[in-house]
Structure 1
């Protein structure tokens, strides 16, 4: 696992995926993000680490467009403009839930190395992606 940070773009797999997203035609980027999330969310059996790492990066792109979302990593995230991804919030949450549910190779790998900070980062994405409760205003941070 070529990983240097607990953030969604802090690994080689996510970086390569973002490069591919940058190289995709502009009108295909939404579908690329959606398909990446769907692969993780819809998988059965053990979710492999590369699929999970891509899904976490894709979910971070969706979260970045939501109220209170952190901006994407300028050094390792995509450089090209992205379409509106906010319609993928539910799918992004489903993908992150799958990443955090056994059997998940990425969850296992992080657990072996004291993955508390990684889980905190993923849970922060989940909080950002979750729709506000009825009548509540979204939290801005």
Structure 2
């Protein structure tokens, strides 16, 4: 696993995914992000690390467009503009839940090292992707 840090694009697989998004037509980018998320969600058996790494990067792209989201990695993330991905929030949350559920190679690999910062990044993505309460709901609190 070519990993150099704990961020969503801090590994070879995710960096390649960012480059792949740049190489396809603009109209295909949302479908590629959606496919990366659903591939992980639909895996009931052992979830391999490369699929998870791509899905984490895809969730970071969705989260970057949500309130409180951080911009995608400027070096390894896609350079070309992305369509509105906020409609994929629920899929992104489901993908992260699956990655953090056994059997998951990526989760196991981070458990073998100091995975605390990586897990903190996953939680940060989950928090950004969670639906925010409406003004009406806040006024009831």
Instruction: Indicate the TM-score class for this superposition, using the shorter chain for normalisation.
Output: over 0.9
Q: Which runs of 4+ in 1 moved over 6 A?
A: none
Q: For 1:70-109, what aligned pairs fall within 5 Å after superposition?
A: 70-109=70-109
Count of aligned positions:
137
Q: For 1:1-141, what aligned pairs fall within 5 Å after superposition?
A: 1-133=1-133, 135-136=137-138
CA separation of 1:23 and 1:114: change in aligned 2, threshold 3 A = same
Q: Which has the larger radius of gyration?
A: 2
Q: Distance in 1 between matches of 2:138 and 2:50?
A: 36
Give the alignment's TM-score, normalised by structure 2: 0.94
Which digits, 9 at most, give the CA deviation of each residue in 1:14-65, with x for residues without a partner?
0011111110110000000000000011111111000000000000000000
Question: Mind listing any 5+ residue stretches in structure 1 that lack a counterpart?
Answer: none
Question: Mind listing any 5+ residue stretches in structure 2 that lack a counterpart?
Answer: none
CA separation of 1:22 and 1:136: change in aligned 2, threshold 3 A = farther
CA separation of 1:46 and 1:22: change in aligned 2, threshold 3 A = same
Q: Distance in 1 between matches of 2:123 and 2:22?
A: 26
